Amino acid sequence: MSYLPLQAVPLLIRGAASSHTGNTSDTSLRSVTLKANTMGPNDMLEIWSMWNVQANNANAKTATIKFGSTTYLSMSLASTRAFRDVCHIYAKGATNAQCGFSISDNDSTGSSTAIVTSTEDTTTDLLIDFRGQLGVGSDTITCDQVAVILWKKS
Amino acid sequence: MEAFFMSYNPQMTRTLFTRGNAATHTGDTNKTSLFTYAMKAGTMGVNDYLEMWMFRGWTNSANNKLYEVAMNGTNIFSRTVNTTASSIGVVTVTNRNSLSSQLLFVLSADIGLGISGTTNSTISVDTSVDVTFEWFVTLTNSSETAGVQAVVLSLYKAPS
């Protein structure tokens, strides 16, 4: 039996906060470009992110992670303070088919959210985008930390 | 727009420490060190990221059992358990563009994922010097047992 060793390749790690306040526009807080052909047909992206909202109130605050044009995380942060997510995006044996999942429950891995599928073309540059949107512009949403790790098999 | 990685370097990721044989404690109510790991000075860079998976098991009873993990004396995990029996969770520590400032999720988070009513934590540990990680348990009933079954501590180097 032969095997190819897995390699974990950090694409982006940031522990310094990036915040948004002042309006209700969907706003990019941090992003990284997955360069064309970096992700192979059997590779996996592991995306860790840590979010914070300064006011624990009922106003809408939404944390989003987009992979190309596909939303892999959309998490309501109303009436809470912090959120820790890990999102996995698996290439499904092709460079234009993926599936994945994010956390969307209270300190657990259970979720009623369906698995996300996408048809992003990883032979082209793709943006991995961490976005925040407020329901009330005077609130604040912060992307505190991100780590984007590419697990290479092929 | 952040930088992106252009070439593969296995040194970008390192497993610093693994332990698969359980370390447990019983017999007294003292805060007890189960094991330690010493990370060499400068191993962790200014934007690097530590990920620790930990599998814990304890006596299922109403009596409290306190688990703590310290990084050079500063807790990066502190959780009291009682009427459950085991858990597996992740603790992450990210240097905040500094060798002596780190960001954590909520210290007492069980699994280490999801939402919390408590804000993210910051600590100040100097990673330019040797750093000791230490795993502790404290029992309130000395006839009970609490332990750590397994640990994997990995370092992810931030691309420049």
Per residue in A40-52, pLDDT (tens digit) is 999 999 999 999 9
pLDDT at B113 over 50: yes
| Contact list, B13 vs chain A (CB under 8 Å) | 7-10, 149
- Best residue of B1, B4, B97 to probe chain A, by most A CBs closer than 10 Å: B4
Partner-chain contact A108 B114, CB within 8 Å: yes
Query: Which pTM does this prediction carry?
Result: 0.87
Strand locations in chain B (E): 13-19, 23-25, 32-39, 49-58, 65-71, 74-81, 86-95, 102-104, 114-116, 121-123, 131-139, 146-156
How close B112 gets to chain A, by Cα (Å)? 6
Task: Provide the pLDDT confidence category of residue B6 given band limits of 50, 70 and 90.
Answer: very low
Going by C-alpha positions, the residue among A28, A84, A87 that lies closest to residue A52 is: A84
Partner-chain contact A50 B105, CB within 8 Å: yes
**Tell me, what DSSP letter sits at residue B2?**
B
User: Residues B5-23: what's their mean pLDDT?
Assistant: 75
- Considering only residues 7 to 36 of chain A, which have any Cβ-Cβ distance to chain B shorter than 8 Å? 7-17, 30-35
Residues 6+ apart with CB under 8 A from B73: none
- Best residue of B8, B11, B113, B154 to probe chain A, by most A CBs closer than 10 Å: B113
| Residues A48/B154, Cβ–Cβ less than 8 Å | no
pLDDT at A25 over 90: yes
Q: Which residue has the tokens 């010097």?
A: B129
User: Residues B33-57: what's their mean pLDDT?
Assistant: 96
User: Residues A5-25: what's their mean pLDDT?
Assistant: 90
pLDDT at A121: 98
Strand A70-76's sheet: what is its strand order?
Answer: A27-34, A126-134, A61-67, A70-76
